[in-house]
Amino acid sequence: MALKRCALPTASIEILGILGRARWSACCRPRADPKVIAAAEALECPYCNKFSSRKQSAPAHAEGPMDFNEQLQTDTLWFDLSSVEPDAPSDKSSKRKIGMLVMVDSATRFMALRTIPDESSNSLMKAVEREWIRYFGRPKQLSVDELSGWGSDAMIQWSGDHDIEMKISPGRSHSRTSIV
């Protein structure tokens, strides 16, 4: 029984624990001494309070996209192949790193991936066109990080021609492209 674990005096448990606050008010309050009423209303058990449910407000968050292809978040990843191919020649002419453009739909978390040779605007446009737009159509909004390829004049022109809203997040702002 939960009442036996309570650290309150036995008389207080009998008054509030067995009867409950609602029944205490209806049954005993009219005949009780004012000091007993004040003591009963101020009664709190630290053990019961520790395990009782807390009323909390819902966390505030921005409304996210609800439909597929409403918002596309992208980021680039670079994989170093030196640990995978230890016997490969280490001269600078051999490509030791592979670039990947990761594209994630914000509503469904569907992900697409495309290799890119560099982070130029031409490579980024080509990757988005060939890996996302070809299969799913143009996204309404493209959320990207602050990379020179995304903010170039050519990219702004391309996004305007395709009717895509570019949302470039400032540097060190990881909350806007947090899914990727």
- What structural domains does the chain harbor? 8-51 (no CATH), 71-168 (3.30.420.10)
The pLDDT score that the predictor gives to residue 87 is 66
The count of other CB atoms within 10 Å of the CB of residue 146 is 12
Q: Which amino acid is at 57?
A: S
In the sheet with 97-105, reading across from the earlier edge strand, the strands are 111-116, 97-105, 71-80, 141-144, 165-168
How far apart (Å, rounded) are the C-alpha atoms in residues 145 and 127?
A: 16
pLDDT tens-digit series, residues 54-100: 666 655 555 678 899 999 999 998 988 877 766 666 555 456 789 99
pLDDT tens-digit series, residues 17-56: 545 555 555 556 666 777 777 776 777 777 666 766 666 6
pLDDT tens-digit series, residues 115-137: 999 999 999 999 999 999 999 99
Give pTM, 2 decimals: 0.59
